[in-house]
Amino acid sequence: MAPKTKILLIDDEDLLREGCKRLLEMAGYDVSSSAFPEEGLRWARSEAFDIAIVDFRMPGMTGIELIEKLRRVAPSIDIVMMTGYASIEMAVEAMKTGAQDYIAKPFEADQMLETVSRLLKKRGHLGPQADHNFTFEHGGQIVRLIGASPGMQELFAMILKVAPSDSTVLIQGESGTGKELVAKAIHSHSKRKNRAFIAMDCGSLVESLFESELFGHVKGSFTGATATKHGAFELAHGGTFFFDEIGNISLSVQAKILRAIQEKQIRRIGATQIIPVDARVIAATNLDLSAAVENGRFREDLYYRLSVIPIHLPPLRERRQDIPILTDFFITKHNQRRPHKPIENLSAEAAAIFNAHDWPGNVRELENVIERATVIEEGHQITVSSLPPNLQHLHNLEEGSGVAKIESLAGLEKKHIHQVLKKVNWNISQSAKALGIDRKTLYDKIKKYGLQPD
Amino acid sequence: MSMPTMNCLIVANPQKSVAQELDLFLRTHAIATKVVEDAVAAVQCVQEQHFDAIVLDARAHGLKIEQTIRLLKGCDPHARIIVRTDDNSRHLEGRVRKEQIFYYHLDSFGMHDLQLALSTALGMQDSATSIINHM
């Protein structure tokens, strides 16, 4: 196993330092942190760190002085300077002194992780790969698919299996399950990874604009000159083209897409010239495309052309064991906005709600709920009161007797019959009439549920 | 209760005339607009306020176009970004499209296309239909 990447973090702001340390450790790095520049320098003399992240303003020594000293004691270390006083001059000064990168406070968790991964990439390695993460580099950023569940582990294996081929892939899954991330993961593990990954949301534009965006357009300008829009598909030549929400396109555009995939060539709108395009196609949809084919809303030939390799993304409710891992990840991510009072965990009630909720919006919904809670929560725990009303409702359903315990139909029937009987002083005829059942059925139910007058 | 206001940020450099025309079009449709001169000012605006759509000049001063898009998306992942240019090249279009924008517009294609894309980005269905009918 490769040794962990070692990071030295020096910042006198305790909360920010601890938040960064936790973030980087969760990402799998080995972090040594100190509030004191001299202590950091001492460590750098005796240990080999890959990266040092240092604050610009600290008592006793400026960031620039620290960078100069670090550079002398550990010439191979990469240095990132953090500062709350962002200015181009300071960045230039830090770079002149020997810092490799610069990050302005306040920053997002992603920015910090991206900065670290960028430096690691330059050093020739990608960093850690935790067991439950599928981590890859895309467009200069580190991207993570998270999940320890069997469904996600199978997905990770599938990505690695299909990535090297040029076959079309159809990713099906509900909204918020991470279809685009999977497409990027496939691209990033393919031989096309150094070429373009171009994505288009098929449902966002009106048809006339969509076609021009996709295939390009040659149009005479008002001066009589010809302007050319190359189009997204052509620009994916050599790389990967991702059709997001492919189920939303019209039948006429479907025909053109089919031709482009089959013949590996396109013609810009208004042009006569044919342009060869070698792009791997990945498509995604949250619809049941086979049903759309049966209904005549999606071309059968295009469906089969796209679904050479079908990948199904499991909804979050089918991989509940991933909820705690994802929750931790998103709490750390969104804690960056509240370094003064980081969220540590969920209250027991909130955790039970997270486990009971069906998450129709999947991972995206989970992240939104956590982001919301980190904004409004005043304590160190996400509590029920900082959850959206639809989740709080789960708590209210069975408050005091187990969160979100859904009552059975029989239980509800028993309660309802008892209430009706009480209301009419156990008059069986009136109760049966109110309940819409005959007297015999009511007697049977009274006996079945063991109901008695109070 | 008043209707929520849609916001649009327009980065004007160097084609101020396009910005003025768009500004007028959006104000006619009761969309709040803000016009700034360069990419850095655009990023600062988006750090302070949510914009539903951003019309960005591909050659806006201050930052490279791909950096600008990344920073804008980092500040507000939900904003729909339209990039426009009066001087296209395959290289420029490729760099921009890698950043996954909402729409790429060439000025010589005319204001109608840009207005239609912007109407769609802002969910102005009536305006989009009206533009399509007049095309």
pLDDT score recorded for residue A414:
83
Closest CA to A101 of A58, A138, A56: A56
Pairwise CA distance, residues A269 & A192, whole Å: 27
- Whether B88 sits inside 8 A of A228 (CB atoms) is yes
Nearest residue in A to B109, CA atom: A221
Ramachandran angles phi, psi of A70, nearest 5°: -60, -45
A164-208, pLDDT tens digit by residue? 999 999 999 999 999 999 999 999 999 999 999 999 999 888 888
Cα-based angle B134, B12, B123 (whole degrees, multiple of 5): 45
Closest CA to A203 of B62, B5, B98, B102: B102
Distance from CA of B47 to the nearest CA of A (A): 11
Pairwise CA distance, residues A83 & A91, whole Å: 9
> Which residues lie across from A78 on neighbouring strands?
A51
Nearest residue in B to A218, CA atom: B109
pLDDT score recorded for residue A169:
97
Tell me the residue type at A409.
Answer: L
CB atoms within 10 A of CB A438: 11
Distance from CA of B118 to the nearest CA of A (A): 10
- Whether B108 sits inside 8 A of A108 (CB atoms) is no
Q: Is the CB of residue A352 less than 8 Å from the CB of residue A389?
A: no
Look at the block and give the residue holding tokens 């031709």. A259
Question: Kind of pairing, strands B80-85 and A101-104?
Answer: unpaired
- Whether B90 sits inside 8 A of A108 (CB atoms) is no
B117: contact with A, CB 8 A cutoff = yes
Residues of chain B positioned with their CB less than 8 A from the CB of A221? 108-109
pLDDT score recorded for residue A168:
96
pLDDT score recorded for residue A397:
60
B94: contact with A, CB 8 A cutoff = yes
- CB pairs under 8 A, 24+ apart, for A96-101? A97/A64, A97/A67, A97/A68, A97/A71, A98/A67, A98/A68, A98/A70, A98/A71, A99/A67
Residues of chain B positioned with their CB less than 8 A from the CB of A235? 90, 93-94, 97
Interface of A with B in 175-194 (CB under 8 A): none
- Whether B74 sits inside 8 A of A219 (CB atoms) is no
Distance from CA of B2 to the nearest CA of A (A): 23
CB atoms within 10 A of CB A268: 23
Confidence band of B14 (pLDDT split at 50, 70, 90): low
* Burial classification of residue A88, based on how many CB atoms lie within 10 Å of its CB (0-12 exposed, 13-18 middle, 19 or more buried): exposed
Pairwise CA distance, residues A271 & A394, whole Å: 58
Closest CA to A178 of A196, A202, A151: A151
Tell me the residue type at A380.
Answer: H
Residues of chain A positioned with their CB less than 8 A from the CB of B104? 213, 229
pLDDT score recorded for residue A124:
60
pLDDT score recorded for residue A92:
67
Range with lowest mean pLDDT among A13-22, A251-260, B43-52, B121-130: B121-130
B21: contact with A, CB 8 A cutoff = no
Q: Is the CB of residue A201 less than 8 Å from the CB of residue A195?
A: no
- 3-state SS, one letter per residue, for chain A: CCCCCEEEEECCCHHHHHHHHHHHHHCCCEEEEECCHHHHHHHHHHCCCCEEEEECEECCEEHHHHHHHHHHHCCCCEEEEEECCCCHHHHHHHHHHCCCEEEECCCCHHHHHHHHHHHHHHHCCCCCCCCCEEEEEECCEEEEEECCCHHHHHHHHHHHHHCCCCCCEEEECCCCCCHHHHHHHHHHCCCCCCCCEEEEECCCCCHHHHHHHHHCEEEECCCCCEEEECCHHHHCCCCEEEEECHHHCCHHHHHHHHHHHHHCEECCECCCCCEECCCEEEEEECCCHHHHHHCCCCCHHHHHHHCCEEEECCCHHHCHHHHHHHHHHHHHHHHCCCCCCCCCEECHHHHHHHHHCCCCCHHHHHHHHHHHHHHHCCCCEECHHHCCHHHHHHHHHCCCCCCCCCCCHHHHHHHHHHHHHHHCCCCHHHHHHHHCCCHHHHHHHHHHHCCCCC
> Which residues 6+ apart lie within 8 Å of A17 measured at CB?
A9, A11, A33, A35
Q: Is the CB of residue B27 less than 8 Å from the CB of residue B56?
A: no
Look at the block and give the residue holding tokens 């792009």. A279
Pairwise CA distance, residues A443 & A34, whole Å: 75
Residue A37: cis peptide before it, omega within 30 degrees of 0: no
Pairwise CA distance, residues A292 & A302, whole Å: 12
Look at the block and give the residue holding tokens 């990439």. A121
Q: Return the structure tokens found at B61.
A: 């001063």
| Structural element, H or E, at residue B7 | strand B7-11
A217: contact with B, CB 8 A cutoff = yes
- Whether A204 sits inside 8 A of B102 (CB atoms) is yes
Residues of chain A positioned with their CB less than 8 A from the CB of B64? none
> Which residues 6+ apart lie within 8 Å of A34 measured at CB?
A8, A9, A10, A40, A43
Q: Return the structure tokens found at A25.
A: 């450790």
3-state SS assignment for residue B92 = helix
A71-91, pLDDT tens digit by residue? 777 777 888 988 765 555 666
pLDDT score recorded for residue A404:
47
Q: Is the CB of residue A8 less than 8 Å from the CB of residue A77?
A: yes
| Structural element, H or E, at residue B33 | strand B32-36
B98: contact with A, CB 8 A cutoff = yes
Pairwise CA distance, residues A210 & A200, whole Å: 9
- pLDDT value at B2 more than 90: no
Which of A209, A212, A268 is the best mutation test for B, with the most CBs of B within 10 A? A209
- pLDDT value at B134 more than 70: no
Please report, rounded to a whole number, the percentage of residues in chain A having pLDDT higher than 70: 90
- Look at the alpha carbons of A56, A60, A64, A66 in this order and tell me if their dihedral is positive or negative: negative
A209: contact with B, CB 8 A cutoff = yes
Q: Could you give the dihedral angle defined by the CA atoms of residues A256, A262, A267 and A273, in that order, rounded to the nearest 10 degrees?
A: -150
CB pairs under 8 A between A and B: 64
Q: Is the CB of residue B46 less than 8 Å from the CB of residue B9?
A: yes
- Whether A229 sits inside 8 A of B132 (CB atoms) is no
- Whether A227 sits inside 8 A of B135 (CB atoms) is no
Closest CA to A210 of A278, A272, A170, A257: A257
Q: Which stretches of chain A drop beneath a pLDDT of 50? A: 1-2, 126-129, 221, 402-404
3-state SS assignment for residue B37 = coil
pLDDT score recorded for residue A128:
47
